[in-house]
């Protein structure tokens, strides 16, 4: 069977590329060995947020007396939460399948292997394609800690599958996005949570002030958070797992919990991707090396998403790269600017950022002027009894150009798009201040900062 484009992986990058290619008039075959939607839909973004939403509702019902609402007998049912999560996932997965059918994309179930130049094998069949796009996604990356692959130690995939372990206490190794989102989920359910991070602070890639604020709010919600630790080993069994570590002062510590989550990042899913002896294998350096358009050092072989080396592992990055790679294959200009990528963390409250932090802007040589507002000054935040947070806009003091922004308040993950647009278009705070922000809203905070900076 021969196609214009073969795509390996049916996640956000893969199915977006298939849709774009089909709309460009290309014949497409899409390979997926598990479920359409990939990690994001089935074991990542969507199930995590569905469960977090349920947990936040439970937490709100338990702590709303100061709003004049008193609820009795409030309880959570983890099985029911996962059943509802499953409904959401299945509905979205069905939507992707329907889109592929409408696009006349040939979807093949099974593990796909690149066996030669412009050749992919799957389930005993050989497929030829002019161009091959790798969108294989990622798998959990377990760091070399004694016992990390033992009983009672889970990955995020395990905790998001059906029939998850019932835990009354959880230790999380890693205070990155995955670790902190699951920490927020369990803490909102009243479960004992310990977060252990090897770096100087949680959420290492983000602004230091965000890390400080999320740490404070996490501890207020009952989390135990320790940074600058060194995990020495894990032993035990489900229900009684002992984790040994050195704290920030170098003292030996032990922690016994029902289970441990290894949230130590993800790596490109490359095992078994190339057949033994395949002479079409590209350069690999912790992922497949490629340029901005996704082109590897092998002609007609492309890569996008988590399988790409030095890539930001986010679903919306993979989707954007999918649009670019199809344009490149079709000989067209790349439609998406990959230099401005918003980042989101779904904790309580939301965290989001885009562009440069204040420290990064100064390091880049800008004379920096920042504007900041706290949630206590927002009528909408006070109305909704939002946890203490803030919004911050970073600008070039000379020109007023918006360089970046960081938000820690409700709906921040929805509102960051306005600031991403401002950064991408190189708008000034004066231009942003010309936009009327409705009252009372969360987005009003952004308008208030812009007005202040524009004066």
Task: Kindly list the catalytic residues.
Answer: 439
Name the DSSP letter for residue 253. Answer: E
Closest CA to 304 of 370, 173, 26, 315: 315
- Is residue 214 within 8 A of residue 180, CB to CB? The reply is yes
Cβ atoms < 10 Å from Cβ of 162: 10
H or E segment at 75?
none
Measure the CA–CA gap between 312 and 335, rounded to whole angstroms. Answer: 18
Which ranges in 340-396 belong to alpha helices (H)? 358-363, 379-383
Measure the CA–CA gap between 410 and 405, rounded to whole angstroms. Answer: 15
- Is residue 162 within 8 A of residue 328, CB to CB? The reply is no
Cβ-based neighbours of 64, under 8 Å, separated by 6 or more: 70, 71, 385
- Is residue 293 within 8 A of residue 328, CB to CB? The reply is yes
Name 109's bridge partners.
32
Measure the CA–CA gap between 329 and 267, rounded to whole angstroms. Answer: 26
CA angle 205, 172, 348 (to 5 degrees): 65
Q: Would you call the peptide bond into 59 cis, given omega within 30 degrees of 0 as the criterion?
A: no
Residue entry with tokens 């991707």: 273
H or E segment at 410?
none
Q: Would you call the peptide bond into 440 cis, given omega within 30 degrees of 0 as the criterion?
A: yes
Closest CA to 283 of 265, 305, 310: 310
CA angle 315, 215, 246 (to 5 degrees): 100
Name 371's bridge partners.
393
Measure the CA–CA gap between 213 and 224, rounded to whole angstroms. Answer: 14
């Amino acid at each position: 069977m021969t196609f214009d484009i073969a795509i390996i992986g049916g996640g956000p990058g893969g199915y977006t590329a298939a849709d774009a290619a089909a709309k460009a008039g290309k014949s497409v075959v899409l390979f997926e060995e598990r479920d359409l939607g990939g990690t994001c839909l089935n074991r990542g973004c969507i199930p995590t947020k569905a469960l977090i939403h349920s947990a936040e509702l439970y937490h709100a019902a338990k702590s709303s007396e100061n709003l004049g609402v008193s609820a009795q007998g409030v309880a959570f049912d983890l099985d029911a939460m996962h059943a509802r999560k499953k409904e959401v996932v299945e509905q979205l997965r069905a939507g992707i399948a329907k889109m592929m059918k409408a696009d006349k994309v040939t979807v093949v179930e099974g593990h796909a292997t690149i066996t030669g130049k412009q050749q992919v094998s799957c389930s005993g069949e050989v497929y030829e394609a002019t161009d091959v796009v790798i969108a294989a996604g990622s798998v959990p990356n377990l760091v070399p800690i004694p016992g990390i692959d033992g009983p009672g130690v889970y990955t995020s995939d395990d905790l998001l599958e059906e029939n998850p372990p019932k835990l009354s206490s959880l230790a999380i190794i890693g205070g990155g996005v995955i670790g902190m989102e699951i920490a927020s989920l369990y803490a909102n359910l009243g479960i004992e949570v310990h977060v252990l991070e090897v770096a100087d602070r949680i959420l290492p890639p983000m602004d230091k002030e965000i890390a400080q604020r999320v740490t404070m709010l996490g501890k207020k919600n009952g989390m135990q958070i320790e940074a600058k630790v060194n995990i020495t080993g894990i032993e035990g069994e489900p229900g009684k797992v002992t984790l040994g570590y050195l704290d920030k002062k170098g003292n030996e510590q032990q922690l016994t919990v029902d289970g441990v989550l290894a949230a130590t990042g993800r790596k490109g899913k490359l095992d078994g991707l190339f057949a033994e002896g395949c002479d079409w294998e590209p350069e690999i350096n912790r992922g497949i090396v490629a340029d901005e358009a996704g082109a590897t050092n092998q002609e007609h072989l492309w890569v996008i998403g988590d399988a790409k080396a030095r890539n930001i592992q986010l679903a919306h990055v993979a989707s954007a790269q999918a649009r670019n790679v199809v344009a490149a294959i079709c000989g067209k200009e790349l439609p998406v600017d990959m230099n401005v990528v918003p980042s989101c963390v779904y904790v309580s409250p939301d965290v989001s950022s885009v562009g440069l932090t204040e420290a990064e802007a100064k390091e880049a040589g800008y004379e920096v002027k920042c504007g900041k507002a706290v949630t206590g000054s927002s009528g909408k935040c006070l109305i909704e009894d939002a946890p203490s947070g803030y919004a911050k806009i970073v600008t070039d003091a000379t020109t007023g150009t918006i360089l970046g922004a960081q938000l820690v308040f409700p709906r921040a993950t929805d509102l960051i798009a306005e600031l991403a647009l401002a950064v991408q278009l190189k708008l000034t705070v004066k231009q942003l201040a010309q936009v009327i922000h409705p009252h009372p809203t969360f987005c009003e905070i952004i308008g208030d900062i812009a007005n202040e900076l524009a004066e």
